[in-house]
């Protein structure tokens, strides 16, 4: 099914997870968003940091701008890419992926970067909670499907 507003073919048009993955779910898009969280960056800076092929970087940046996740702003002779409100809203998602990776993608004692707050303290573990503050799991939630 095509989204007429943006020309997208959604994997599952009623599922927010599927739609989000369609927008930012490939490796390069999420790494670009992650790096953009450090502040505005030029094409050259993204290319240097990520080691991504120029044509792929160009495509991903264009798509992220087209979908309102990044915007461009002039900076001297070039322009820089920066997160929009929608892009900044991905912070929790990136933190959740980071924390999952810390728990499951590294061997004990293997070196890794850390996300810390402004005072240098580790960021608290993200866990979904009910409206009443109770912890939620796959066993205590369900998806209400659109019919």
Q: What is the pLDDT of residues 48-59, one digit of tens each?
A: 999 999 999 999
Q: Which two tokens stand for residue 112?
A: 């890794």
pLDDT, position 147: 81
Q: How far apart are the first and last CA of the chain?
A: 15
DSSP state string for 90-114: THHHHHHHHHHHHHHSS-TT-----
Cα dist from 68 to 63, 128, 138, whole Å: 9, 26, 31
Residue 126 lies in a domain: no
pTM, two decimals, is 0.86
Q: Which two tokens stand for residue 33?
A: 């968003």
Residue 16 lies in a domain: yes
Tens digit of pLDDT for each residue in 61-115? 999 999 999 999 998 888 999 999 999 999 999 999 999 999 999 999 999 999 9
Domain ranges, residue 62? 2-85
pLDDT, position 54: 97
Tens digit of pLDDT for each residue in 1-40? 334 344 567 778 899 999 999 999 899 999 999 999 999 9
Domain with residue 25: its CATH number is 1.10.10.10
How many folded domains does the chain comprise? 1
Pairs from 51-60 (Cβ < 8 Å, separation ≥ 24): 52/28, 56/28, 57/28, 57/32, 60/26, 60/28, 60/29, 60/32
Residue 18 lies in a domain: yes
Q: What's the mean pLDDT in 37-48?
A: 96
What does the alpha-carbon distance between residue 106 and residue 37 come to, in Å, rounded to a whole number? 23
């Amino acid at each position: 099914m095509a989204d007429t507003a943006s020309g997208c073919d959604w994997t599952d048009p009623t599922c927010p997870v599927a739609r989000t993955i369609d927008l930012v779910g490939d490796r390069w898009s999420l790494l670009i968003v992650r790096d953009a969280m450090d502040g505005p960056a030029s094409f050259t800076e993204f290319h240097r940091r990520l080691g991504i092929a120029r044509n792929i970087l160009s495509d991903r940046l264009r798509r992220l701008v087209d979908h309102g996740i990044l915007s461009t702003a002039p900076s001297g002779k070039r322009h820089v890419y920066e997160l929009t409100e929608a892009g900044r809203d991905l912070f929790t998602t990136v933190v959740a992926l980071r924390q999952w990776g810390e728990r499951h993608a590294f061997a004990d004692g293997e070196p890794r970067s850390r996300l810390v707050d402004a005072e240098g303290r580790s960021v608290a573990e993200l866990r979904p909670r009910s409206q009443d503050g109770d912890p939620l799991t796959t066993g205590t939630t369900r998806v209400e499907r659109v019919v």
